[in-house]
Amino acid sequence: MPCVAIGAVRVQMEKTQPPRGLFVPFQLGRPLGEPEDVAFQRRVLSQALGLLERTDGPVILADFPDDPPGWSDTPGWEPPVLPTLATPTDPTGWRDAFATELAALRPAWAQARARFGRSTVGLSFVSPEDWPALAAAFAGGELPAVAGHTTAALTLRFLCDDIKAFYGEAGQAVGSAPSSRQVDGWFWRATLAGRLLVALRTMAMASDNNAMKTVGGRFFVPVPWLPG
């Protein structure tokens, strides 16, 4: 059966050597480009499916020629206004400061949910109101687990995913959609939540729990945003 793969990690495609592969230089998790950009997504699919017509294989690796349009910054985009908060030094401080920032961002997130009619928040099975206490428990070295996840490592992994999704959605509450780069720059450089995830990664990497080390090293903080 003829097949084609779309991949965002070229070295992986070169090693696995699918019969036909289209490399796309996009953000991981966005193999067709930016959300909502139907015309661009169709272009990516058309080029990938076009490889099925080629007979010069068995291994064909082609490159998509363009960056996604959303990689360019959106002029005039302004992130939600958040309080200026110092970096906490203990679990209680993280809990209180994170709760303050979440409360300030909650209206924008609600506005984004109403605007788009959906949300990707919910993987952790914990409501945003309970995130500060849960994150603080992890920051203090505890390994709590919640119903729906079999381990503390999975609980923390999906808590971090939910936090990133919450902030990313809130950043799109009004106006034109910001680029991925703009959202990432804001989250990792200008929010307390970004600093919290870096701190949780540090905790996980120092844990005696191997599962915590694994999820902390792979899933919490993208490499470009690790502290220098």
Q: Is the pLDDT of residue 100 over 90?
A: yes
Query: Are the CB atoms for 193 and 171 separated by under 8 Å?
Result: no
Angle between helices 131-139 and 91-116 (to 10 degrees): 140
Average pLDDT over residues 111-138: 96
Helices (H) and strands (E) in the chain, counts: 8, 3
pLDDT classification of 31: cutoffs 50, 70, 90: very high
> What pLDDT, on a 0 to 100 scale, did the predictor assign at position 185?
94
Q: Is the pLDDT of residue 91 over 80?
A: yes
30-39, 107-116, 136-145: least confident range: 30-39
pTM: 0.85
Q: Give the model confidence (pLDDT) of 128-167 as tens digits.
A: 999 999 999 999 999 998 889 999 999 999 999 999 999 9
Quickly count: other Cβ atoms within 10 Å of residue 191's Cβ.
21
| Two structure tokens written together for 104 | 């300030």
Three-state secondary structure string covering 176-191: CCCCHHHHHHHHHHHC
pLDDT classification of 119: cutoffs 50, 70, 90: very high
Closest CA to 169 of 207, 128, 205: 128
